């Protein structure tokens, strides 16, 4: 269900009591093997090695590559592959002076880079980048992935990640990578279920001109296996919604309370609008409805810290989370782990931060990272799809943190299953959802 993601401190704890020389020999061999396997035609291999254990791994790799008949050294000019062994998991902050200049030379060399453990310049514990950073094609990481390889912006510089066994046992980690196994937690419809017991979802949103967001969320809830979906929308939007949604029960916002009586989860926000009427409605729903709720899009603007009558799952993108925290969007992009933790502390509920890596955090828990997405998700409406999937899983009775993590993984898996790479639209992801679920 989850795979460990190590911080620098957790990795040091896991290495305690193990022979350092033996670990370095295994690490260096793993790097050399990766170079030979991935770049069999390369004859000239250069390495940039620091003073610590990471540099030692790089020097061992060079020795083994020389034994394999390759020309090795530290000269970058003319190298066909470069091994980045400058900084390891203990690095924090910004490379300075000669180190920063070396990183710039590595990136300018136009040769593929194999990073040892993680690209130099990436913070292993957070994924943050404070200055110059190596752009690797491959990262050979020791024992298990580090947080910085899974969380942006660090993950964007890691290339393809290989995990090397260096002979140590699994240790304790606070943060985890979501795996496909989480989808087995999503309850299936059983013999004897009714449409209500299979998961009853209410979606609230769809102002005039934005009814598509509501429809995508509702369709996604159905395709994520909810048994019953109702929508409450602006009266002016009802004709469009009636034409698009055949299976859902529809009502104007004035009839919302009646629909809410049957809901086992609510999604509020997709295309809702921010006029005073909608803002008052969101405030009332947030504090009065005693069912799990997904809070997205326009509804996030009304969020204030408070005691919730039932679980709340916030699903902001970086810009929305920045507004909630009083920060700039660029700050959230650069400090994703810190940002999602700050939101959990401020609002006391589950927070799902959308992005190339979707982060799910909850009070008292570590962060779950879902990396199942693909670039095609960068298109209008896919966030509404994720809202609908999350609501469906909540309606089936899943724990809010696990529902959010499972929804993020299923959403990304559905995008992977869309057969075309370009021109993907949100409706394609909706159509693929049933195939993403076991």
Burial of 188 (0-12, 13-18, 19+ CB in 10 A): exposed
Dist. CA 367–CA 377, nearest whole Å: 22
Whether residue 250 sits in one domain with residue 381: yes
From 173, 206, 232, give the residue that closes a domain.
173
Average pLDDT of the residues of the chain? 96
Whether residue 203 sits in one domain with residue 166: no
Q: What digits encode the pLDDT tens for the residues 124-179?
A: 999 999 999 999 999 999 999 999 999 999 999 999 999 999 999 988 999 999 99
At residue 5, the pLDDT reads 98
The yes-or-no verdict on residue 250 having pLDDT over 90 is yes
From 156, 173, 190, give the residue that closes a domain.
173
Rg (CA), the chain: 24
Residue with the two structure tokens 């003073």: 51
Whether residue 271 sits in one domain with residue 248: yes
Domain count, the chain: 2
Structure tokens at 275: 């006029």
Q: Which helix (H) or strand (E) holds 351?
A: strand 350-353
At residue 283, the pLDDT reads 94
Q: What digits encode the pLDDT tens for the residues 177-191?
A: 999 999 999 999 999
The DSSP code for 129 is: B
The yes-or-no verdict on residue 376 having pLDDT over 90 is no
Q: What digits encode the pLDDT tens for the residues 255-293?
A: 999 999 999 999 999 999 999 999 999 999 999 999 999
Q: Give the residues across from 176 on adjacent strands.
A: 4, 368
Whether residue 143 sits in one domain with residue 217: no
CB 381 within 8 A of CB 212: yes
Q: What is the CATH number of the domain that holds 123?
A: 3.40.50.10260
CA distances 141 to 39, 93, 116, 144, 159, Å, are: 18, 20, 6, 7, 12
Burial of 422 (0-12, 13-18, 19+ CB in 10 A): exposed
| Mean pLDDT across 208-231 | 97
At residue 306, the pLDDT reads 81
Dist. CA 199–CA 393, nearest whole Å: 8
Whether residue 224 sits in one domain with residue 167: no
Whether residue 201 sits in one domain with residue 250: yes
| Mean pLDDT across 22-39 | 98
Whether residue 308 sits in one domain with residue 214: yes
Whether residue 279 sits in one domain with residue 349: yes
Q: What digits encode the pLDDT tens for the residues 393-423?
A: 999 999 999 999 999 999 999 999 999 989 9
Whether residue 240 sits in one domain with residue 149: no
The DSSP code for 143 is: S
The DSSP code for 34 is: H
The yes-or-no verdict on residue 336 having pLDDT over 90 is yes
Q: Which domain holds residue 256?
A: 180-436
Q: What is the CATH number of the domain that holds 425?
A: 3.40.1190.20
| Mean pLDDT across 211-232 | 98
Dist. CA 404–CA 435, nearest whole Å: 19
Respond yes or no on whether the N-terminal peptide bond of residue 398 is cis (omega within 30° of 0). no
Measured torsion, CA atoms of residues 62, 148, 375, 83, in degrees rounded to the nearest 10: -10
Whether residue 131 sits in one domain with residue 242: no
Q: What digits encode the pLDDT tens for the residues 66-108?
A: 999 999 999 999 999 999 999 999 999 999 999 999 999 999 9
Report the Cα–Cα distance between both ends of the chain, in Å, rounded: 14
At residue 337, the pLDDT reads 97
At residue 311, the pLDDT reads 96
From 118, 148, 173, give the residue that closes a domain.
173
Whether residue 136 sits in one domain with residue 186: no
Dist. CA 339–CA 329, nearest whole Å: 10
Whether residue 326 sits in one domain with residue 307: yes
């Amino acid at each position: 269900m989850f795979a460990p993601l190590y911080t620098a401190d957790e990795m040091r704890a896991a290495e305690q009591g193990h022979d350092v020389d033996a670990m370095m020999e295994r690490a260096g061999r793993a790097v050399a093997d990766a170079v030979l396997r991935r770049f069999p035609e390369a004859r000239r291999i250069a390495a940039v090695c620091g003073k610590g254990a990471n540099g030692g791994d790089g020097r061992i790799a060079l020795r083994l590559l020389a034994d394999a008949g390759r020309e090795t050294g530290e000269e970058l000019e003319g190298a066909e592959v470069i091994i980045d062994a400058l900084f390891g998991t203990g690095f924090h902050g910004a490379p300075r002076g000669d180190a920063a200049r070396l990183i710039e030379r590595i990136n300018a060399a136009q040769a593929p880079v194999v990073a040892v453990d993680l690209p130099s310049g990436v913070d292993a514990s957070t994924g943050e980048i404070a200055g110059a950073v190596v752009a690797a094609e491959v990262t050979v990481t020791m024992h298990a992935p580090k947080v910085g390889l899974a969380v942006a912006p660090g993950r964007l510089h890691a290339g393809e990640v290989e995990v090397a066994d260096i002979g140590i046992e699994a240790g304790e980690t606070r943060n985890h990578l979501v795996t496909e196994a989480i989808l087995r937690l999503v309850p299936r419809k059983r013999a004897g279920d009714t449409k209500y017991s299979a998961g009853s979802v209410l979606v609230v949103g769809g102002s005039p001109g934005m009814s598509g967001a509501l429809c995508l969320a509702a369709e996604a809830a159905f395709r994520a296996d909810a048994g019953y979906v109702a929508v409450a929308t602006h009266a002016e939007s009802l004709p469009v919604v009636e034409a698009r949604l055949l299976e859902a029960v529809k009502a104007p916002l004035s009839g919302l309370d009646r629909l809410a009586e049957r809901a086992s989860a609510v999604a509020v926000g997709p295309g809702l609008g921010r006029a005073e009427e909608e803002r008052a409605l969101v405030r009332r729903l947030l504090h009065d409805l005693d069912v799990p709720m997904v809070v997205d899009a326009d509804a996030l603007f009304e969020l204030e810290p408070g005691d919730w009558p039932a679980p709340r799952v916030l699903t902001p993108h970086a810009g929305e989370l920045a507004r909630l925290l009083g920060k700039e969007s660029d700050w959230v992009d650069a400090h994703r782990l810190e940002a999602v933790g700050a939101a959990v502390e401020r609002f006391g509920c589950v927070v799902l931060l959308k992005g190339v890596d979707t982060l799910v955090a909850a009070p008292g828990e570590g962060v779950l990272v879902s990396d199942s997405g693909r670039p095609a998700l960068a298109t209008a409406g896919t966030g509404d799809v994720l809202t609908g999937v999350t609501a469906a899983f909540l309606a089936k009775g899943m724990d809010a943190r696990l529902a959010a993590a499972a929804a993020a993984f299923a959403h990304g898996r559905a995008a992977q299953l869309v057969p075309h790479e370009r021109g993907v639209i949100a409706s394609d992801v909706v159509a693929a959802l049933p195939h993403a679920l076991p």
